[in-house]
Amino acid sequence: GVGGSFRALGLAYIEQTGYPLPVLHGLRIPGRSATSLLKAFCRSTPDLSGVPLGRQKTMPMAAHIMRTLLDRINADRIIVSGTSIRDGLIADRELADLEGADFLHVVSSEISRASHRFADVPDALSALLQPMFSPPAGADAGKVAIARGKFERLLEAACNLSDLCWNEHEDVRGDLAARRVLGLPVNCVTHKERIWLATAIYHRYVGRKTNKPRPPELGFILNRRRRAEATTIGLGLRFALTFSGGTADGLKGIRLTNDGETLTLHVSKACVRLVDNHARRRFNQLAQSADLAAEITM
């Protein structure tokens, strides 16, 4: 089938270029790279490394057809779908209207219900960390609104996934959790979003430590700004869950404000005794990660 040939192209691209994230769905192949691979498939002795064995016999002919198609439409990139149109139709019909908008919300909510030790924690975490959004420099109101929407979507998912590996050994929690996020069975996230979420969950468990195992994929694909943003959210989750003991009631006693220069932690009277040196250090790490000054009011 046509879809299978494009997926075979994606697998070959991952194999031959050393692409860091071996997840087929959402893979973006630059047009020039795709053309180069397809030309190699069409040679008298084609280089089919990475192409599944079951596709290798028909791949040269498929490559001729795909090259013609790409030349005709002048495509600057290919985005590979790991599924077929059938899956999209089933999802559209089986999910309720509200759920159908985002599979990431559905799957991360299911994981949250199975993994969180206490009820209502993800919503409380999301409300607490909303002020950590930093608009892109120089963006107009429309672009800021779009960026905020994307941030809030990923923040919600990160909060849902924040207790994913709480019952694993502390020396490997971060690595295990990040790898599970990288392999989440969802097809509604881009590779950049997958790396963002994995980075956030990794730092939720590891903090700023550099002596813990870490998936090498986290060092690729994201630009510096997005990687810093994900790290900051991870440190925010780490601070909040430690301070509150992982309970929603504990989170109700604190809130954050961000004026663009200073990150302020507002602590209620009921939680004042929880502000020890350990909590101060983790809050300072959070503010520093966001390039903000830290202030605590009680």
Range from 25-29, 80-84, 207-211, 223-227 carrying the lowest mean pLDDT: 80-84
Confidence of residue 91 (pLDDT cuts 50, 70, 90): low
Instruction: Establish if 151 belongs to a structural domain.
Output: yes
Specify whether 251 is located in the same domain as 160.
Answer: yes
pLDDT in tens, 261-298: 999 999 999 999 999 999 999 999 999 999 999 999 99
Range of the domain at 226: 102-297
Specify whether 124 is located in the same domain as 251.
Answer: yes
Instruction: Establish if 92 belongs to a structural domain.
Output: no
Instruction: Establish if 108 belongs to a structural domain.
Output: yes
Q: Residue 280 and residue 291: Cα distance in Å, rounded?
A: 16
pLDDT for residue 119: 86
How far is CA 96 from its chain centroid?
24
What's the CATH number where 274 sits?
A: 1.10.3210.10
Specify whether 77 is located in the same domain as 107.
Answer: no
Secondary structure class of 25 (helix, strand, coil): coil
pLDDT for residue 244: 94
Q: Residue 119 and residue 198: Cα distance in Å, rounded?
A: 23
Structure tokens at 182: 């990288």
Specify whether 257 is located in the same domain as 110.
Answer: yes
Instruction: Establish if 91 belongs to a structural domain.
Output: no
pLDDT for residue 96: 55
Instruction: Establish if 7 belongs to a structural domain.
Output: yes
Range from 76-85, 163-172, 196-205 carrying the lowest mean pLDDT: 76-85
pLDDT for residue 278: 94
Specify whether 40 is located in the same domain as 180.
Answer: no
Specify whether 126 is located in the same domain as 244.
Answer: yes
Burial code of 29-42, b = ≥16 C-beta within 10 A, e = fewer? beeebbbebbebbb
Q: Residue 60 and residue 48: Cα distance in Å, rounded?
A: 9
Q: State mean pLDDT over 243-258.
A: 94
Tell which of 82, 117, 135 closes a domain.
82
pLDDT for residue 275: 94
Selection from 225, 287, 216 nearest residue 257 by Cα: 287
What's the CATH number where 63 sits?
A: 3.30.420.150
Tell which of 54, 82, 110 closes a domain.
82
Specify whether 78 is located in the same domain as 169.
Answer: no
Q: State mean pLDDT over 122-149.
A: 94
Instruction: Establish if 268 belongs to a structural domain.
Output: yes
Instruction: Establish if 88 belongs to a structural domain.
Output: no
Specify whether 75 is located in the same domain as 212.
Answer: no
Specify whether 53 is located in the same domain as 165.
Answer: no
Number of domains present in the structure of the chain? 2
Specify whether 41 is located in the same domain as 113.
Answer: no
Cβ pair 98, 27 in contact under 8 A: no
CA-atom Rg of the chain in angstroms: 22
Confidence of residue 94 (pLDDT cuts 50, 70, 90): low
Range from 1-5, 6-10, 66-70, 177-181 carrying the lowest mean pLDDT: 1-5
pLDDT for residue 240: 97
Does position 146 have pLDDT exceeding 70, yes or no? yes
**In the predicted model, what is the mean pLDDT of the chain?**
92
| β-pairing verdict for 254-258 and 262-267 | antiparallel
Instruction: Establish if 97 belongs to a structural domain.
Output: no
pLDDT for residue 139: 87
Q: State mean pLDDT over 108-126.
A: 92
Specify whether 32 is located in the same domain as 162.
Answer: no
Tell which of 47, 82, 117 closes a domain.
82
Specify whether 146 is located in the same domain as 66.
Answer: no
Q: State mean pLDDT over 5-31.
A: 95
